[in-house]
Structure 1
Amino acid sequence: MQFRNITLGALAALLLFATACTDELNIADPNRLSTGQYYENQSQAVAAVDAIYNTLIIDGMYQRMTPIYHDGRGDEISSRSPWPFLTGLSAFTVPGTDGALEIFWAGHYIMISRANQALENIPQIEDVDAQLRERLLGQAYFLRGLAYFNLTNALNNVPLVLTTPNGVESFYPSNEDVTQEMVYAQVKSDLENAINRLPVNYDAVGGPDQGQEGRATKGAAQALLGKVHLYEGDYTAATPLFAAVVNSGEYALAPRYADLFSQDPGIENANPGKIFWADFTTSTSSEFNWGGDPNVNWRQFLALTPTYSVGDFFDFYPTRFLYDEMRKERTVDGKLDPRYHATLLSYEPAEGYTTAYGVDWFERGYGENDYFIKKYTNAANGTDAFSAGFDYHIIRYADVLLMYAESLAQTGDIAAAAGYVQQVRDRANLPDREAEFAAYSLEEFMEQLEHERIMELAIEGVRFYDLKRWGHLQGAELEELRSHDFEFATFTPGEDEFLPIPQTEIDRNPNLVGNSAN
Structure 2
Amino acid sequence: MKKIIIGFAAVLTMGLAGCKKSLNIVNPDAVTTQQFWKTAADAQSGVNAIYSTFHRTGPCRWYFFATMIRADEGWSKSGDPNLIANFDQFVVSDYNYGNVYGGLWTDNYFGVNRANQVLDNVPNINMDANLKARYIGEAKFLRALFYYHLATFFGNVPILLKSSLPSDKPETSPQAAVWAQVEKDCADAAAVLPASYTGSDIGRATKGAANALMAKAYMQQRNYQAALAPLQAVIQSGTYALTANYQDNFLSTTENNSESVFEYNNALNPNDTHDDDTDVGAEDNLNYGSSIPPFFAPPQLGFTDGEARRWPVAEFEQEKTTTGQRDPRLAVTFLFDSTDVRGPNFTQIYGQTFASRYGTNNVANDNFIWFAKLLDYNNGTSAAPGNFEIFHSPNNYRFIRYADVLLLYAECLNATGATSSAYQYVDQVRRRAGLATLSVAKPGLSQDQFLVQLKHERITELTGEGHRWNDLARWGDLGPGLASRDAGFKNFKTGKNEFFPVPQREIDVNPKLKQNPGY
Q: Shared topology, TM-score over 0.5?
A: yes
Q: Which residue of 1 aligns with 2:194?
A: 199
CA apart distance, 1:436: 4.6
Distance in 2 separating the partners of 1:30 and 1:110: 24
Q: Please state whether the residue corresponding to 1:141 is helix, strand or coil.
A: helix
CA apart distance, 1:17: 5.5
Q: Which amino acid is 1:136 matched to?
A: Y
Gaps of 5+ in 2: 1-11, 379-383
Q: Which amino acid is 1:275 matched to?
A: V
Which of 259, 262, 266 is the aligned partner of 1:280?
Answer: 266
Distance in 1 separating the partners of 2:70 and 2:313: 17
Q: Please state whether the residue corresponding to 1:395 is helix, strand or coil.
A: strand
CA apart distance, 1:511: 2.2
For the structure 1 residues 79 and 244, does the alpha-carbon distance in structure 2 shift closer, same or farther, using more than 3 Å as the test?
A: same
CA apart distance, 1:99: 3.2
Matched, 1:388 2:386: no
Distance in 2 separating the partners of 1:507 and 1:437: 56
Which of 63, 68, 74 is the aligned partner of 1:77?
Answer: 74
Matched, 1:468 2:473: yes
Q: Please state whether the residue corresponding to 1:216 is helix, strand or coil.
A: coil
Distance in 1 separating the partners of 2:272 and 2:456: 42
Q: Which residue of 1 aligns with 2:149?
A: 150
Kindly indicate whether the alpha-carbon contact (under 8 Å) linking 2:55 and 2:287 is maintained by their aligned counterparts in 1: no
Q: Which residue of 1 aligns with 2:232?
A: 243
Q: Please state whether the residue corresponding to 1:362 is helix, strand or coil.
A: helix
Q: Which residue of 1 aligns with 2:3?
A: none
Q: Please state whether the residue corresponding to 1:460 is helix, strand or coil.
A: coil
Question: Which range moved further: 323-332 or 221-230?
Answer: 323-332
Calculate the TM-score normalised by the size of structure 2. 0.89
Distance in 2 separating the partners of 1:366 and 1:282: 34
Q: Deviations over 1:232-276 (max 9, x none)?
A: 111111111111101111111111111211133xx224x211111
Matched, 1:7 2:5: no
For the structure 1 residues 165 and 390, does the alpha-carbon distance in structure 2 shift closer, same or farther, using more than 3 Å as the test?
A: closer
Cα RMSD, aligned residues only: 2.1
CA apart distance, 1:437: 4.1
Q: Which amino acid is 1:389 matched to?
A: P
Distance in 1 separating the partners of 2:462 and 2:472: 13
Q: Which residue of 2 aligns with 1:217?
A: 206
Q: Please state whether the residue corresponding to 2:98 is helix, strand or coil.
A: coil
Which of 284, 295, 299 is the aligned partner of 1:296?
Answer: 284
Q: Deviations over 1:266-322 (max 9, x none)?
A: x224x2111111112343223324241673322323211111111311012211322
Distance in 2 separating the partners of 1:486 and 1:261: 30
CA apart distance, 1:193: 1.1
For the structure 1 residues 464 and 433, does the alpha-carbon distance in structure 2 shift closer, same or farther, using more than 3 Å as the test?
A: same
Alignment of 1:4-403 (within 5 A): 6-10=14-18, 12-13=19-20, 27-31=26-30, 33-61=31-59, 63-88=60-85, 89-95=87-93, 96-103=95-102, 104-126=104-126, 128-166=127-165, 169-170=167-168, 172-175=169-172, 178-203=173-198, 212-264=201-253, 267-269=254-256, 271-292=257-278, 295-310=283-298, 311-348=301-338, 349-351=340-342, 353-367=346-360, 369=363, 370-380=368-378, 382=385, 384-386=388-390, 387-403=392-408
Q: Deviations over 1:37-56 (max 9, x none)?
A: 10011100111100000101
CA apart distance, 1:517: 4.8
For the structure 1 residues 378 and 464, does the alpha-carbon distance in structure 2 shift closer, same or farther, using more than 3 Å as the test?
A: same
Q: Deviations over 1:41-77 (max 9, x none)?
A: 110011110000010121121x101122111221111
Q: Which amino acid is 1:40 matched to?
A: K
Query: Bigger relative contact order, structure 1 or 2, given CA contacts below 8 A and separation 6+?
Result: 1
Kindly indicate whether the alpha-carbon contact (under 8 Å) linking 2:52 and 2:288 is maintained by their aligned counterparts in 1: no
CA apart distance, 1:230: 0.9
CA apart distance, 1:227: 0.8
Kindly indicate whether the alpha-carbon contact (under 8 Å) linking 2:65 and 2:306 is maintained by their aligned counterparts in 1: no
Q: Which amino acid is 2:447 matched to?
A: L
Question: Which range moved further: 157-166 or 282-291?
Answer: 282-291
Kindly indicate whether the alpha-carbon contact (under 8 Å) linking 2:197 and 2:203 is maintained by their aligned counterparts in 1: no
Kindly indicate whether the alpha-carbon contact (under 8 Å) linking 2:190 and 2:210 is maintained by their aligned counterparts in 1: yes
Q: Which residue of 2 aligns with 1:444?
A: 449
Kindly indicate whether the alpha-carbon contact (under 8 Å) linking 1:285 and 1:299 is maintained by their aligned counterparts in 2: no
Q: Which amino acid is 2:508 matched to?
A: D
Which of 423, 426, 429 is the aligned partner of 2:431?
Answer: 426
Alignment of 1:401-412 (within 5 A): 401-412=406-417
Question: Which range moved further: 425-434 or 447-456?
Answer: 425-434
Q: Which amino acid is 1:236 matched to?
A: Q
Question: Which range moved further: 334-343 or 48-57?
Answer: 334-343
Distance in 2 separating the partners of 1:91 and 1:5: 32
Distance in 1 separating the partners of 2:84 and 2:226: 37
Q: Which amino acid is 1:145 matched to?
A: A
Distance in 1 separating the partners of 2:14 and 2:273: 19
Q: Which amino acid is 1:130 matched to?
A: A
Question: Which range moved further: 487-496 or 352-361?
Answer: 352-361
Q: Which amino acid is 1:268 matched to?
A: E
Q: Deviations over 1:407-458 (max 9, x none)?
A: 1111122122111101001111112232454410001000000000000110
Q: Deviations over 1:121-174 (max 9, x none)?
A: 001112x100000000000000000000100110011111111235x542x222
Distance in 2 separating the partners of 1:299 and 1:153: 26
For the structure 1 residues 405 and 262, does the alpha-carbon distance in structure 2 shift closer, same or farther, using more than 3 Å as the test?
A: same
Distance in 2 separating the partners of 1:79 and 1:484: 14
For the structure 1 residues 244 and 510, does the alpha-carbon distance in structure 2 shift closer, same or farther, using more than 3 Å as the test?
A: same
Q: Which residue of 2 aligns with 1:206?
A: none
Q: Please state whether the residue corresponding to 2:370 is helix, strand or coil.
A: strand
For the structure 1 residues 343 and 29, does the alpha-carbon distance in structure 2 shift closer, same or farther, using more than 3 Å as the test?
A: farther
Distance in 2 separating the partners of 1:354 and 1:280: 29
Count of aligned pairs between the two proteins: 486
CA apart distance, 1:351: 4.9
Q: Deviations over 1:459-499 (max 9, x none)?
A: 2111121111111124xxx42x1111001010011111101
Distance in 2 separating the partners of 1:5 and 1:287: 21
For the structure 1 residues 424 and 121, does the alpha-carbon distance in structure 2 shift closer, same or farther, using more than 3 Å as the test?
A: same
Identical-residue share of aligned pairs (%): 35
CA apart distance, 1:334: 2.1
Q: Please state whether the residue corresponding to 1:44 is helix, strand or coil.
A: helix
Distance in 2 separating the partners of 1:335 and 1:85: 42
Q: Which amino acid is 1:272 matched to?
A: S
Gaps of 5+ in 1: 204-209
Q: Which amino acid is 2:105 matched to?
A: W
Q: Please state whether the residue corresponding to 1:393 is helix, strand or coil.
A: strand
Distance in 2 separating the partners of 1:305 and 1:286: 16
